[in-house]
Amino acid sequence: MAVKTQEGAQLLTGGEAVAYAMAQIDPDVFPVYPITPQTPIIQTFAKLVANGKATTEIVNVESEHSAMSATIGAAMAGARSMTATSSQGLALMAEMVYIAAGMRAPIVMAVGNRALSAPLNIHCDHSDSMMIRDSGVIQLFAESVQEAYDHMVTAARIAEHPDVMLPVLVCQDGFTLTHSEEPLILTPDEVVKDFVGEYKIPLPLLDVEQVTTKGIFALQDYYTELRYQMNAAMEAAETVIADVFAEYSPLVGRPFGLLEEYELEGAERVVFLMGSTAGTIKDVVDELRAEGEKVGLLRLVSYRPFPAEAIRKALASAQEVIVLDRSDAPGAVPSLHSEMAAALYGSSAKLRAHVFGLGGRELVPDEARAIFAGEAPTHIALRS
């Protein structure tokens, strides 16, 4: 089947797309360690640097823990620094992800979301991102290759905003996006360069005139206040993300948001989820709408900060909200489900939730129909 693409579009995988965005931004330092399904990012970027398309200093470190450590070192030194990972890599660097946020290092990290071991699995779910949900990093989830690319272009502006100064994770579904070619329109190089601008942080470590002590030791007397400041930064991030998206949107002629509302007009039953599965849900919403059913989709883009107020507003007239978590929480309620229970507390909407897509098990249209019909099991497509 021939794919009809928009004029000027080219076919790229999600991994290639974010690597192209990085080459256009040309960050100073990129410490990185290979892991499936993130590898297309580092391979594509290494090739772009090898061909002179970017002059970034790539540091091929010996682990993801060191990747994030070196990225923090470079970012705090005064250099724009990015890294990339997936799954076990994110798990290994989790300690340093918390530290990056706590030290307010404005790092950008591309993530190809993948299930966590055990058992070992290389395909998509969101459990890796969920593991660091309270670390203080911003997490943006893309539905398409185009959106992953656009998030990558905008991420540095969000991370480096003086009111934010937090790492931004540009998340895309492993394999479904990282390894799948989709038509993509690249933003012109000079537009990206102008948009992203220069990296400037207050008091870089490499300033030997204005000497700083970084990564301090704080006990009962100051720790609470220093951690609390991240709440204010996350609150500011909600506005900053919206502002940065609003500034970028007219440059490329595509809408962006912390949420995407799809057929919410008069929708009584609304699915709420993140990531590429939204594509399948949209198709099913179209079919059900054609059959006269009042269904819709609310897609979450910004997992952190979690835009609870905007979600409440978007779902004001929904009668039933169906949350789809692509990660499980044995012995408790999965992340999106619990966030939504809190966000919709006091609302008259009924809340239903399912776990789907673990370890790359795709959600098919028939299952989506069953979900809307209220006939799906708690764990979608679970075999007995």
Partner 1 sequence: MSRLKRIALNQHGVQPLGGGHALCQGCGAPSIVRTVLSSIETPVIVLNATGCLEVATSRYPITAWNVPWMHTAFENTAAVASGVEAAYKVMKRRGTLPGGDKEVTIVAFGGDGGTYDIGLQALSGALERGHRFLYVCYDNGAYMNTGIQRSGATPYGADTTTSPVGSESFGKLQQRKDLTAIAAAHHIPYVGQSSGARWQDLSAKVERAVAMDGPAFLNVMSDCPLGWGHEPRVGMEVMRAAQDSLFWPLFEVLNGEYKLSYRPRKVIPVVDFLKMQRRFAHLFKPGNEAVLEAIQQQVEDEWSKLLRLCGEPVTELPVIKPAEKTEQAETPVGAAA
Binding residues for partner 1, rule: CB under 8 A, are 28-29, 31, 55-57, 59-63, 65-67, 69-79, 81, 95-96, 99, 103, 198, 204-209, 211-219, 222, 226
Specify the residue, 74 or 300, whose C-beta has the smaller distance to partner 1.
74
Provide the β-strand partners of residue 323: 272, 353
Residue whose entry in the numeric block shows the structure tokens 């929904």: 318
Asked if residues 142 and 180 have their Cβ atoms less than 8 Å apart, the reply is no
Q: Please, what is the minimum distance in Å from the beta carbon of residue 26 to partner 1? A: 9
CB of 9 to partner 1, least distance (A): 32
**76 vs 363, beta carbon nearer partner 1:** 76
Give the integer Cα–Cα distance in Å for 120 and 359. Answer: 9
Indicate if the alpha-carbon torsion angle 135, 138, 143, 148 is positive or negative.
negative
Instruction: Tell me the closest approach of the beta carbon of residue 202 to partner 1, in angstroms.
Output: 11
Number of C-beta neighbours around residue 190 at 10 A:
9
Minimum separation from the CB atom of position 134 to partner 1 (A) = 18
Nearer to partner 1, 80 or 304 (CB): 80
CB of 304 to partner 1, least distance (A): 21
Angstrom CA distances, 105 to 60, 92, 100, 162, 166, stand at 20, 19, 5, 11, 6
Maximum C-alpha span of the chain: 70
Closest approach of partner 1 to the CB of residue 97, in Å: 11
Q: Smaller CB distance to partner 1: residue 70 or 340?
A: 70
CA 53/CA 195 separation, integer angstroms: 18
Looking at the Cβ atoms of 163 and 207, the one nearer to partner 1 is: 207
d(CA 282, CA 265): 14
Tokens 């799948």 belong to which residue? 180
Residue (67 or 311) nearer to partner 1, CB: 67
Distance CA 322, CA 85 (A): 30
